[in-house]
Amino acid sequence: MEYNVHTLPNGIRLLHVPSASTISHACIIINTGSRDEPEGKAGLAHFIEHLIFKRTEKRSTNQILNRLESVGADLNAYTTKEYTCVHASFLNPYLDRTLDLFNDIIFHSTFPEEEMDKEKSVILDEIASYLDQPEEAINDDFEDMLFAGNALGNNILGTTESVSNFTREDVLNFRRANYRTNEIVIAVLGNYSLKNVVTKGTKYFADVKENAPSQNRIKPVNLNPKTTTIYKPIMQAHCILGTQTYSTHHQNKAGLMLLNNYFGGNGMSSVLNLQIREKYGIAYTIESNFSPLSDTGIFSIYFGTDQEKYVKALSLIFKEMKRLKDNPLNELQLQKAKNKFIGQIALSEENRIGLIISMAKSLIDHGKIDSLEQVFEKINTVTTKEIAQIADEVLAPEQLNIFTFSPILE
């Protein structure tokens, strides 16, 4: 897909992606997330993402929320381990309105104490709600174990204690240290010329003061694998098996993405779904996932099942991992896996807001954006030998952590 990049003097990059649609999409991505939080401040990045919608130097909360919704547009935001993102979808005439609002909430929020107190209550309720969903909460507890001693293990929402103790000074210090202008991308996908996007981007963001302190992320240590069981008042057992693996810059990233998709990724025809759910009927949800990060990655397998079927499900997963390691994919199987994965990627391009966010992240991570053809080429060049090597490295049972939520037996 065609794109253009223009860098402002303060380091902020403008990403322009032309489209003939009457609907436009835009986002502002900041290369900071929960892994950048100081010790004892878990949840601070997410807390700030909430607060930016509460009050700015020229807008009240209601004015912020209505600025785009009043013209039928959609505005939202999220925080991950490594990013903070605000995104919007809107009709073409409202690009000025959108960029003006992005500028206002990101760079001119005032963080009043009374709004902080209200938002703490909201997030504490969010944490409580999340803990009531074991299939969600287990991911955070697993990553806390996987990255023990490193901020990557922080729960993105934080903890009841950490959120309750946030101060306005914490908020301001975090923004000052982590909202680096050279690590911010503002991306626009719509029926606009490059000149138009650069003119408007310059209008709203050129006056932002340059801020480029060094980033001090600490690479996590790959700890010895552990097996942990936590007993909870739940009906089913939930389990994650996983390990640290390749980063977004690793040469085997494309190969593991392909292997993961074949083994337990999207769709009902994955190996794990066919064998564990369809053949034996012992798990409603079973899936694998590969999440590459800037300096490491996470490969994991999740399943939920009745307690009496837990051991059987676990043994079947190990059986399928062994089968894949002992009997690597042949050329025909690999080509079928490639066709499936490439088709899914092509279809995902229809999600335009997801596309522009993905492109902005790629610009931050790699300084460039691969075309769809280049992505397909990377997948198509993966060989059966590479897949076998990756399976040996990632699916080795002796290096997998096993983390389980188990029902309390009466």
In a domain, 274, yes or no: yes
CA distance 67 to 94: 10
Based on the domain organization, do 180 and 302 belong to the same domain?
A: no
Based on the domain organization, do 200 and 305 belong to the same domain?
A: no
Based on the domain organization, do 102 and 236 belong to the same domain?
A: no
Based on the domain organization, do 151 and 244 belong to the same domain?
A: no
Q: How many domains does the chain have?
A: 2
In a domain, 162, yes or no: yes
Across 262-275, average pLDDT? 93
Dump pLDDT digits (tens) for 40-56. 999 999 999 999 999 99
Dump pLDDT digits (tens) for 317-367. 999 999 999 999 999 999 999 999 999 999 998 999 999 999 999 999 999
- Please name which of 186, 187, 191 lies closest in space to residue 19, comparing C-alpha atoms: 191
In a domain, 137, yes or no: yes
Can you give the three-state secondary structure of 285-299, one letter per residue?
Answer: EEEEEEEECCCCEEE
CA distance 239 to 322: 19
Which of the listed residues 147, 173, 205 is the one where a domain comes to its end? 205
CA distance 175 to 211: 10
Q: Are 62 and 114 in contact (CB under 8 A)?
A: no
In a domain, 213, yes or no: no
In Å, how far are 211, 242, 309, 322, 373 from 315, measured between CA atoms?
52, 15, 10, 10, 39
Which of the listed residues 143, 175, 205 is the one where a domain comes to its end? 205
Based on the domain organization, do 246 and 366 belong to the same domain?
A: yes
CA angle 315, 318, 321 (to 5 degrees): 155
Amino acid at 29: I
Helix, strand, or coil (residue 54): coil
Model confidence band, residue 264 (pLDDT cutoffs 50, 70, 90)? very high
Position 409 scores a pLDDT of 73
In a domain, 210, yes or no: no
Q: Is the confidence at residue 189, as pLDDT, over 80?
A: yes
Based on the domain organization, do 180 and 270 belong to the same domain?
A: no
CA distance 106 to 171: 13
Based on the domain organization, do 303 and 376 belong to the same domain?
A: yes
- Please name which of 150, 154, 151 lies closest in space to residue 141, comparing C-alpha atoms: 154
CATH number for the domain including 164?
A: 3.30.830.10
Cβ atoms within 10 Å, residue 21: 12
Which of the listed residues 148, 173, 205 is the one where a domain comes to its end? 205
In a domain, 95, yes or no: yes
CA distance 355 to 364: 14
In a domain, 218, yes or no: no
The sign of the CA dihedral 178, 179, 181, 183 is: positive
Domain residues for the domain of 349 are 227-407
- Please name which of 45, 261, 60 lies closest in space to residue 170, comparing C-alpha atoms: 45
Based on the domain organization, do 147 and 200 belong to the same domain?
A: yes
Which DSSP letter does residue 181 get? G
CA distance 386 to 252: 8
CA distance 275 to 285: 12
Residue linked to tokens 């810059």:
249
Based on the domain organization, do 252 and 171 belong to the same domain?
A: no
Dump pLDDT digits (tens) for 64-97. 999 999 999 999 999 999 999 999 999 999 999 9
Dump pLDDT digits (tens) for 362-404. 999 999 999 999 999 999 999 999 999 999 999 999 999 999 9
Question: Which tokens hold the place of 125?
Answer: 């309720």
Q: Are 344 and 267 in contact (CB under 8 A)?
A: yes
Dump pLDDT digits (tens) for 2-35. 999 999 999 999 999 999 999 999 999 999 999 9
In a domain, 214, yes or no: no
Based on the domain organization, do 104 and 160 belong to the same domain?
A: yes
Q: Are 185 and 191 in contact (CB under 8 A)?
A: no
- Please name which of 409, 398, 269, 293 lies closest in space to residue 344, comparing C-alpha atoms: 269
Strand order in the sheet with 4-7: 4-7, 13-18, 184-190, 23-30, 84-91, 74-79
Q: Are 110 and 321 in contact (CB under 8 A)?
A: no
Position 410 scores a pLDDT of 63
Q: Is the confidence at residue 138, as pLDDT, over 80?
A: yes
Based on the domain organization, do 140 and 231 belong to the same domain?
A: no
Q: Phi and psi at residue 160, in whole multiples of 5°?
A: -55, -40
Based on the domain organization, do 195 and 282 belong to the same domain?
A: no
